[in-house]
Structure 1
Amino acid sequence: MQQQHEITLALAGVFQAAGLVQKIAREGNASQSRIETCVQSIFNTDPENVSDVYGGTCKVVNGLELIRDVFGAKKRTQDFEVTQYVISLLHLERQLAKKPAILDQIAAGVEKARGQVEHFTITHDVVMASLGELYSNTISTLSPRILVNGDEVHLSNPNSANKIRTLLLAGVRSAVLWKQCGGSRRQLLFRRKKVIGDAECILHESCHIP
């Protein structure tokens, strides 16, 4: 039961990052607290449990709700795009696992950005630019690259572009965590009702959301 709880939380981290990518690409902004949760997960590399990665179970409420909506009966048009991002992030995790040199490069880049956080806020433009560049130089070199759809006004804005790349980095970080906890594509394909049930259980019991 605890293992499944951890798997679901990590998957919620992937979904939350994907949802934020979509929102920034299309609207130019998103919840600052949700962005902070995703960015924080990049730096939490030695947690006691999955909840610690995000600063608390309820910090990924949005991701849990997206799991419920995407896998449930209330699918919306925009959910398809989020699902495509999630699938791509999970695929990139598999590619990344075969590239130890890139993993080392990411680890070094995260430590560099961690030093910047000591002087700026965690979502300061300097930090986001550093993490965005790290994504571009590492994960973005893997195939296939994630193509983000949205309003060109936002996609061409340097700050928005860095946020999107940083959130994609956070999404891959959560995908790695999901795999480490025992997550698999088979679960997503053949046990969707169980995935929905687990997400709803966490929402109800831990976050008191109906």
Structure 2
Amino acid sequence: MSFKTITYQTIALAGIAQATYLVQQLATTGKADKEAMQASLGSLLALEPENPVDIYGGLAGVKLGLEQLQLQFKTHSVPNTEIARYAASLVFLESNFSANKEMLKTVRNKIKVAKAQSEHFGIAHENVTANLADIYHTTISTINPRIMVNGDQTHLSSPQTVNKIRALLLSGIRSAMLWKQCGGSRWRFIFFRKKMRSEIDFLLSELESKKIA
């Protein structure tokens, strides 16, 4: 079965949008949607999913990301330039990261350790978040150009908040990898905007209908 469909590309893109929105939330307010953050961080530990939706624990896991995409796709102008910058940077970094086979192997091995740790403490535990943050900090953040996160210095000076931001950036890389694996590319993003916008609306309506039912 091929995963190179507009549906899975949209879900992967929603994963990127969700991670970057949560990063912005944390950097500016010190808080973020807990359920969305748990789904995004959980995507890092889904090492052998049956399909792309399972990576986020189901479609509901990227609901926030789909909502953010819907806002971004409503107009040709960019309503949230900060999130767009983070997303573009993640896609660029993913290409350089994926080309570094040694780093890929290192990250995968470290994530296996984090997965075992999460089975003991739970994905939301600060020790697990700190571990995931360290993986990002010691590997991907060494690739230039580094992502510079803007926000309130009060929150950006908090070690716990910084750990959450770094762990979410790592999850954004995971989604960027999925986007590419599902056939996503810059050209598809440009030329298939209308199809993606329709798919976003459809997926959100599916989530809404399940909630009503």
Shared fold by TM > 0.5?
yes
Q: Are residue 98 (structure 1) and residue 99 (structure 2) matched?
A: yes
Distance 1:91 1:74, change over 3 A: closer
| 1:74, distance to aligned residue in structure 2 (A) | 8.9
| 1:206, distance to aligned residue in structure 2 (A) | 4.0
Kept in 1: contact 2:19–2:40 (CA 8 A): yes
Kept in 2: contact 1:154–1:160 (CA 8 A): yes
Distance 1:102 1:207, change over 3 A: farther
Q: Are residue 173 (structure 1) and residue 174 (structure 2) matched?
A: yes
**Any stretches of 5+ residues in structure 2 without a counterpart?**
none
Residue aligning to 1:116: 117
Kept in 2: contact 1:18–1:168 (CA 8 A): yes
Whole-Å separation in 2 of the counterparts to 1:171 and 1:189: 20
| 1:76, distance to aligned residue in structure 2 (A) | 7.0
Q: Quick check: 156-165 or 112-121, which moved more?
A: 112-121
Residue aligning to 2:90: 89
- Give per-residue Cα distances to partners, 1:2-60, cap 9 Å, x unaligned: 71111111110010000000000000011111110001100001111111000111211
Distance 1:182 1:143, change over 3 A: same
- Give per-residue Cα distances to partners, 1:133-171, cap 9 Å, x unaligned: 110011101111100000011111000000000000000
Whole-Å separation in 1 of the counterparts to 2:207 and 2:32: 24
Residue aligning to 1:20: 22
| 1:191, distance to aligned residue in structure 2 (A) | 2.3
SS at match of 2:121: coil
Whole-Å separation in 1 of the counterparts to 2:126 and 2:194: 40
TM-score under structure 1 normalisation?
Answer: 0.94
Distance 1:70 1:43, change over 3 A: same
Distance 1:32 1:206, change over 3 A: closer
SS at match of 1:118: helix
TM-score under structure 2 normalisation?
Answer: 0.93
1:91-170 to structure 2, matched below 5 A, reads 91-170=92-171
**Percent identity between the two aligned chains:** 41
What amino acid is aligned across from residue 134 of structure 1 in structure 2?
A: I
Kept in 1: contact 2:40–2:61 (CA 8 A): no
Kept in 2: contact 1:17–1:38 (CA 8 A): yes
| 1:71, distance to aligned residue in structure 2 (A) | 2.0
**Any stretches of 5+ residues in structure 1 without a counterpart?**
none
Residue aligning to 1:54: 56
Regions of 4+ moved over 2 Å: 73-77, 205-209
